[in-house]
C-alpha cells in the first residue's frame, strides 16, 4: 500500500505479522518500479514480515529537496507502533540505509555494497558514470558521518572488489560499524544472501537482542549459497580444475536440485576438462574411464562405448564444442546437447596421419575446407584447402605468437590462419596467433542428446 507518493520518493507499507518492522532501500536502475514494487518484496510477503519500502523515481541516492521531509514524517508515523526498526539497503540504497538510521531511530542496519560518497570533492574513487548520471547539487558533501547514524550498523562488501573495498573502508573510517567480508560476491552481495528462508534468518538476526548474530548468519548463508559456489568455481576452474571438480561432486551429493545450475553446467565441466593437466587421450576407452572416475552427470556426458574409438570432438578454451553450421556454412560453438539441427559437431580422427576437420552427414564423412574466403565441405576437397589440427607448440605461420603451454594443446589452421573462439563464443578463421583463444583439446566422441 502506498502511503506517500512524491515527485521523487514513494513510501509503501506492507502490513505483516511481526512486532518489528524492516525499512528497505533498493539499488539503482529500478526506478520504473517506484510505485509497484519495494526492495525484497517477495521474501517480505512470503515471510509475513512488517515492512516499509522507500522507492525512488530518480537514481539520486534517495536525496530529494521536495520529498525528504514528507517521507520522514510519514515513516515516523508508521514505525511508531513497532518495537524495533531494522533498515536494509543494497548498492544505492545501502548509503540511504545508513543516512536515515538516526532519523528513523534504527535498532540495526544492514548496508550491502554501499558507496560512501559520489562527491569528487571528498571522494577519489568514483566512476564517471556516477558523476554524470546520478550526482546532483543537493548531494554535495554526502559522505556518511557518525552523527547521521543510530543503532548497530553492519556493512557488507567483497574486499576483492576494488571499488567496493575502497568505499567500505571509507564508511568504516567515518562511522561506527561492523564489517562483513563477503568474498566471491563482487558488487552483487544481495544475490548471495537471496532466498525467502535466508531473508527471514537475516531479519531475525537483525531484530534479536544481540544483532551481531548477523555476522555468523550472513557468513553461513554466503558460504552455502549457490551463487557463491558459482563464482568460486568460475574463478578457480582454470588454475585448480581438480579441486573444482571435487567441489562440484560434493555439491551434487549434498543437494543436486539446489545446485543443479552448477552440477549440470556443461561449460563448467568442459572448461575443467580443458584445464586438467596431462588429461589428453588418444584412446577413447581411457577417456571414458576418466569421465567415469570423476562421476560426470549423465546429463552432461553419455559414456556409452558405441562410437569409433578414434573419433574426437574439439573443446575450446571457453568450454564449448566446435560445430559447423551447414545452413550458414560457418563454424560456431555450443554445448554437448543444446545444438541446433543445422549445427553438426566437428570431428577429428587420430588414426589419420594428417588430422583434418570433418563432419558426418548421412553416414558420409565431409571434410571442411576454405577457398577464396568461403567455407564449405566436400568428400574429397584438395588437402591444401582443408582445416587441419596441429600441435600448438610446433606449428607456426609467419609472425605467429606462440602459446607457451604443454603439447596437449592443439590449434586448427587453414591457409587463411588459425581458428579463434572469442569471449562471446564467436568463431573466426584468420587469427595469426596461437594463444588461449586459438587452443583446443580433444574430447572423446559421445552420443549427443
Cell of 98: 545508513
| SS3 call for 178 | strand
| SS3 call for 282 | coil
Tens of each residue's pLDDT in the chain, 449 residues: 999 999 999 999 999 999 999 999 999 999 999 999 999 999 999 999 999 999 999 999 999 999 999 999 999 999 999 999 999 999 999 999 999 999 999 999 999 999 999 999 999 899 999 999 999 999 999 999 999 999 999 999 999 999 999 999 999 999 999 999 999 999 999 999 999 999 999 999 999 999 999 999 999 999 999 999 999 998 888 888 878 888 888 888 888 889 888 877 777 877 877 776 545 444 555 555 555 555 554 444 444 444 556 788 898 988 888 999 999 999 999 876 655 778 999 999 877 888 999 999 998 999 999 999 999 999 999 999 999 998 876 666 655 555 454 555 789 999 999 999 998 889 999 998 888 899 888 877 654 43
Question: What does the pLDDT read at residue 175?
Answer: 98
Residue given cell 553461513 in the structure block: 220
Question: What does the pLDDT read at residue 447?
Answer: 47
Q: What string of DSSP letters covers 91-115?
A: THHHHHHHHTTTTTT-SEEEEES--
Between CA 274 and CA 321 the distance in angstroms is 11
Between CA 282 and CA 310 the distance in angstroms is 7
Residue given cell 514513494 in the structure block: 10
Q: Which listed CATH number (3.40.980.10, 2.80.10.50, 3.30.420.40, 3.40.50.1100) goes with 283-444? A: 2.80.10.50
H or E stretch at 206 = helix 196-207
Beta-sheet pairing, 85-90 with 21-25: parallel
| Residue of 438, 436, 393, 446 whose CA lies nearest to 414 | 438
Length of the chain: 449
**Total H helices, total E strands in the chain:** 12, 21
45: exposed, middle or buried (Cβ count in 10 Å: 0-12, 13-18, 19+) = middle
429 in Cβ contact with 370 (< 8 Å): yes
Question: What does the pLDDT read at residue 340?
Answer: 73
Question: What does the pLDDT read at residue 300?
Answer: 43
Question: What does the pLDDT read at residue 226?
Answer: 93
Between CA 150 and CA 156 the distance in angstroms is 17
Between CA 421 and CA 90 the distance in angstroms is 37
- Domain ranges for the chain, please list them: 2-224, 229-266, 283-444
Question: What does the pLDDT read at residue 443?
Answer: 77
Question: What does the pLDDT read at residue 7?
Answer: 97
CB under 8 Å to 362, separation ≥6 — which residues? none
Q: Which listed CATH number (3.40.50, 1.10.3470, 3.30.43, 1.10.8) goes with 2-224? A: 3.40.50
Between CA 276 and CA 296 the distance in angstroms is 14
Domains 2-224 and 283-444 share a fold: no
CB under 8 Å to 129, separation ≥6 — which residues? none
Between CA 338 and CA 83 the distance in angstroms is 54
Amino acid at each position: 500500500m502506498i502511503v506517500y507518493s512524491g515527485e521523487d520518493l514513494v513510501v509503501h507499507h506492507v502490513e505483516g505479522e511481526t512486532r518489528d518492522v524492516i525499512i528497505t532501500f533498493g539499488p539503482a536502475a529500478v526506478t520504473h518500479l517506484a510505485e509497484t514494487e519495494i526492495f525484497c518484496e517477495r521474501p517480505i510477503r512470503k515471510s509475513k514480515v512488517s515492512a516499509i519500502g522507500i522507492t525512488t523515481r530518480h537514481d539520486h541516492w534517495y536525496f530529494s529537496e521536495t520529498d525528504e521531509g514528507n517521507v520522514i514524517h510519514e515513516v515516523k508515523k508508521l514505525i511508531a507502533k513497532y518495537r524495533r526498526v531494522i533498515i536494509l539497503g543494497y548498492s544505492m540504497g545501502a548509503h540511504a540505509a545508513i543516512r536515515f538510521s538516526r532519523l528513523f531511530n534504527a535498532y540495526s542496519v544492514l548496508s550491502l555494497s554501499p558507496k560512501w560518497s559520489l562527491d569528487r570533492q571528498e571522494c577519489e574513487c568514483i566512476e564517471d558514470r556516477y558523476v554524470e548520471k546520478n550526482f546532483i547539487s543537493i548531494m554535495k558533501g554526502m559522505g556518511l558521518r557518525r552523527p547521521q547514524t543510530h543503532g548497530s550498523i553492519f556493512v557488507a562488501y567483497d574486499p576483492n572488489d576494488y571499488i567496493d573495498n575502497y568505499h567500505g573502508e571509507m564508511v568504516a573510517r567515518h562511522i561506527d560499524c561492523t564489517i562483513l567480508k563477503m568474498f566471491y560476491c563482487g558488487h552483487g552481495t544481495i544475490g548471495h544472501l537471496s532466498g525467502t528462508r535466508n531473508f527471514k534468518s537475516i531479519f531475525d538476526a537483525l531484530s534479536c537482542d544481540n544483532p551481531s548474530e548477523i555476522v555468523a548468519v550472513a557468513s553461513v548463508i554466503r558460504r552455502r549459497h549457490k551463487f557463491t559456489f558459482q563464482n568460486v568455481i568460475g574463478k578457480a576452474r582454470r588454475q585448480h580444475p581438480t579441486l573444482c571438480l571435487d567441489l562440484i561432486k560434493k555439491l551434487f551429493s549434498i543437494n543436486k536440485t539446489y545446485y543443479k545450475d552448477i552440477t549440470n553446467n556443461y561449460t563448467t565441466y568442459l572448461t575443467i576438462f580443458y584445464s586438467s593437466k596431462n588429461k589428453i587421450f588418444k584412446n577413447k576407452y581411457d577417456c571414458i574411464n576418466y569421465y567415469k572416475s570423476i562421476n560426470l552427470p549423465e546429463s552432461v556426458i553419455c559414456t556409452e562405448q558405441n562410437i569409433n574409438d578414434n573419433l574426437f570432438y574439439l573443446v575450446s578454451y571457453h568450454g564449448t564444442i566446435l560445430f559447423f553450421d551447414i545452413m550458414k556454412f560457418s563454424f560456431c560453438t555450443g554445448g554437448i546437447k543444446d545444438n541446433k539441427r543445422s549445427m553438426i559437431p566437428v570431428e577429428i580422427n587420430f588414426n589419420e596421419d594428417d588430422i583434418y576437420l570433418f563432419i558426418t552427414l548421412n553416414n558420409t564423412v565431409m571434410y571442411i575446407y576454405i577457398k577464396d574466403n568461403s567455407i564449405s565441405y566436400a568428400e574429397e576437397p584438395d588437402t591444401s584447402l582443408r582445416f587441419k589440427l596441429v600441435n600448438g607448440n610446433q606449428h607456426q605461420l609467419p609472425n605467429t605468437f606462440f602459446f607457451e603451454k604443454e603439447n596437449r594443446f592443439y590449434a586448427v589452421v587453414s591457409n587463411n590462419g588459425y581458428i579463434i573462439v572469442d569471449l562471446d563464443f564467436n568463431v573466426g578463421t584468420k587469427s595469426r596467433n596461437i594463444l588461449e583463444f586459438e587452443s583446443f583439446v580433444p574430447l572423446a566422441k559421445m552420443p549427443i542428446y
